[in-house]
Amino acid sequence: MSDNLQVELVAADRVVWSGEATMVIARTVEGDVGVLRGHAPMLSVLTDAVVEINAVDAPVVVAAADGGFLSVANDRVSILSGHVLLADEIDVEAARVELEKAQGLIGADDEAEQRIRRAEARIRAVEKAR
């Protein structure tokens, strides 16, 4: 029996990361959650935010997830999202431009707040990975 979590970070179009980790941190609609080995089973809705995975044999995996679900059961963590970018896949300048555009649309665009959250999550993911 492993002393670690088995983690899968999955987007609609690909498996973004899969492997063993000691801890996972994600933001749900109820707040931030940290998952360690032995965590109680749970299913939560993710917000547009940063996900951190403390991988066993690699540097910390930092990604921006556009909402989704977090499932924990029997030391297995599944993070499912429509769109996920690893920190090194993010164009931070493009995210900053998107953030500025979305901030200018507040009140004029129903999706402006969601676009702001997603752009901010991408910028934070890059900053955390540095």
Are both 77 and 104 inside the same structural domain?
no
pLDDT at 106 over 80: no
Q: Tell me the HSE value of 82 on the side-chain side, using a 13 A CA sphere.
A: 6
pLDDT score of 109: 60
pLDDT at 108 over 80: no
Are both 82 and 94 inside the same structural domain?
no
Domain interval for residue 65: 5-86
Are both 65 and 82 inside the same structural domain?
yes
Tokens of 49: 């935010």
- For the segment 25-34, the average pLDDT, to the nearest whole number, is 96
Question: pLDDT band at residue 1, thresholds of 50, 70 and 90?
Answer: low
Buried b (16+ CB within 10 A) or exposed e, 107-130: eeeeebeebbbbbbbbbbbbeebe
Number of domains in the chain: 2
Q: Is 15 exposed, middle or buried (0-12, 13-18, 19+ CB in 10 A)?
A: exposed
- For the segment 102-118, the average pLDDT, to the nearest whole number, is 76
Rounded to 5 degrees, φ, ψ at 90 are -90, 130
pLDDT at 35 over 80: yes
Are both 11 and 65 inside the same structural domain?
yes
Are both 69 and 20 inside the same structural domain?
yes
pLDDT at 52 over 60: yes
